[in-house]
A = this chain, B = another copy of it.
Amino acid sequence: MAAGRSGQTATRRRGSRSAGNSGSQRRGELLGIAAELFARRGYAETTVRDIADEAGILSGSLYHHFSSKEEMLDEILRDFLDPLLERFIAIEAEGTHPEEVLDELIRHSFAAIHASPVAVALYQNELTMLHRQPAFEHVGEIGDKIEKIWLSVLKAGQKSGVFRADVDINLSYRFIRDAIWSTVRWYRPRGKYKHEAVAVQFLTVIHGGLHTS
């Protein structure tokens, strides 16, 4: 998806108009540019003119593709969150033991950060704002569904005895969730840490803690 464009600089595409680019292709390009800017500078701090400049067109021209700046944000988030939720549902459905499911949820989360750093960053940074906007209820709902999956796995594991009984599941979930998704702030897809290695390290700490013996 669009999130992969991170690191691309302004390229003028004026000439390429001649070929029969389908409307939806151009739309995708514009969304990619917007996503990157939103993630980098923040949604409110990014102007439609910033986006248009980067795309090599005038800001008014963006409105041939999108009816508002908000629509762009909505589409970007949807493109990221819908598949993410689907995947989480599948992981839960396919797994048998809670500890295996949890590990897989964690592994996929780091993979998602690797695949769509821009969308993840955007989602993380704008969460508070999104919760205040009724137009983004949809986003909150997906978040709730995801939370339910994680919590049910954790509870199942605690019930079956693989997870310790003396930890508060709600608190633990939040610690885990925040630790995972916050990595987007420093993780670089082409950096020295591979996402699989980060996941392994995280699983190590979560499984047995930091202390020896």
Contact = CB atoms under 8 A, between A and B. Distances in A.
A interface SS class:
helix
Interface residues of A, number: 65
Given A53-B17, A175-B205, A133 B9 contact: yes
Contact of A53 (B9, B15, B43, B69): B15
A175 B167 contact: no
A212 B164 contact: yes
Interface string A174-206: 111011001101100000010000100110111
10 contacts: A2-B12, A12-B50, A14-B49, A15-B53, A42-B44, A163-B210, A174-B183, A175-B202, A178-B182, A178-B185
Nearest to A168: B201
Interface of A: 1-12, 14-15, 17, 41-45, 47, 49-50, 53, 68-70, 99, 125, 127-129, 132-133, 161-164, 166-168, 171-172, 174-176, 178-179, 182-183, 185-186, 193, 198, 201-202, 204-212
A207 B205 contact: no
Given A12-B47, A44-B44, A128-B185, 17 more contacts: A1-B5, A1-B6, A2-B11, A3-B6, A9-B70, A10-B42, A42-B44, A125-B125, A164-B208, A167-B205, A168-B201, A172-B205, A174-B186, A175-B179, A175-B201, A175-B202, A207-B210
